[in-house]
Amino acid sequence: YQVKYGGKSHHRMYCETDPAFSRKFTLEKDLETALEQQQLFLHYQPQIDSETLQLNGVEALIRWNHPEFGLVSPAEFIPIAEDSGHILSIGEWVLRQACLQAKSWSDSGRPIKVGVNLSPTQLRKPDVVERVREILQETGLPPELLDLEITESAALSQPELVLEKLHALKTLGLTLSIDDFGTGYSSLSHLETFPIDKLKIARQFTSKLEDRQVNRKIVSHIIDLARTLEMSVIAEGVESENQAAILRAIECVEMQGFLFGRPVPATEIDRLLTLTPSE
Ligand code: C2E
Ligand code: MG
Ligand code: MG
Ligand code: MG
């Protein structure tokens, strides 16, 4: 960083003065060793069928127990990992862990899908398809139990770069979802050509469902759009019974949110799986 004072140029680190920069700097440095020091772990959040309330799947969400700062949100450290390149090793670790966990659920007679967030940097890597194939093989997870969540901007903003990869990923037998759908300012015209199985309606829409009629209509139209494109649809961030009722009325297929369960350790999901009768 070069900071100019009165026309003169000084080199200095912001960390001496700006606490936010200092934290970011520290986090970036500490990310290097977070994996090997076993500070990273996964939580899993339930995804439920709107009609039956059955557990259809879980989304794997990374957590970081930082030695100095305590729990650091992925909303804070994933962007740092993206910028620094650490996301590649972290993302691979997440994928392997989540597949191992889902394989273990499947082996114990309770197959549920696991959703894994794939970052734009991971998706851009030329060998992404090969890496996913290897991890599926290595962990033995039936591919249909893996759902890769791709952000709308990563998928749709550079369609010519991504489309081929998405098709190749699909041939592995997994499913693809678009995360935070509706927030990416992307061109809808590409969506129809994409091999996407599910739209995840962003929490920003869910949280406004009760405010005004127009918000409910927008979500209803996203659900119609999914149906037209023969995609499934899940609403993220469902927090209230009222939101769930509205979503059921406008035929949202699945729901995810604190109302049905916060992200929890795998052992908590084990408990849910034993409690839910399997038909
Ligand atoms: P996301 O993939 O959209 O995940 C959903 C986020 O919404 C999670 O935040 C989850 O805890 C939160 N959430 C779920 N239900 C509710 C609700 O009812 N109310 C509210 N207020 N929030 C809810 P989290 O775990 O903090 O993750 C934030 C973001 O960080 C994720 O958004 C995802 O973009 C990223 N992320 C998390 N884990 C990973 C990962 O393993 N790899 C990558 N590349 N990104 C990840
Ligand atoms: Mg996600
Ligand atoms: Mg999301
Ligand atoms: Mg997100």
User: pLDDT-derived band of residue 145, with 50, 70 and 90 as boundaries?
Assistant: very high
Name residue 148's amino acid.
L
62 lines ligand 1 (CB under 6 A): yes
pTM beyond cutoff 0.80:
yes
Is beta strand 40-49 parallel, antiparallel or unpaired with respect to 8-11? unpaired
Site of tokens 């829409």: 205
Residue 256 alpha carbon, nearest atom of ligand 1: 15
Of the two residues 224 and 16, the one the predictor is more confident about is 224
CA angle 134, 152, 80 (to 5 degrees): 70
Could you tell me the distance, in angstroms and rounded to a whole number, from the CA of residue 67 to the centre of ligand 1? 22
What backbone phi and psi angles, to 5 degrees, belong to 163? -55, -45
**pLDDT tens-digit series, residues 256-266:** 999 999 999 99
180 lines ligand 1 (CB under 6 A): yes
261 lines ligand 1 (CB under 6 A): no
Secondary structure of residue 85 in the 3-state scheme: coil
Could you tell me the distance, in angstroms and rounded to a whole number, from the CA of residue 31 to the centre of ligand 4? 20
100 forms bridges with which residues in the sheet?
none
75 lines ligand 1 (CB under 6 A): yes
Residue 165, Cα to own-chain centre: how many angstroms? 18
ipTM of the complex: 0.97
**pLDDT tens-digit series, residues 210-254:** 988 999 999 999 999 999 999 999 999 999 999 999 999 999 999
Residue 206 alpha carbon, nearest atom of ligand 1: 18
Residue 118 alpha carbon, nearest atom of ligand 1: 44
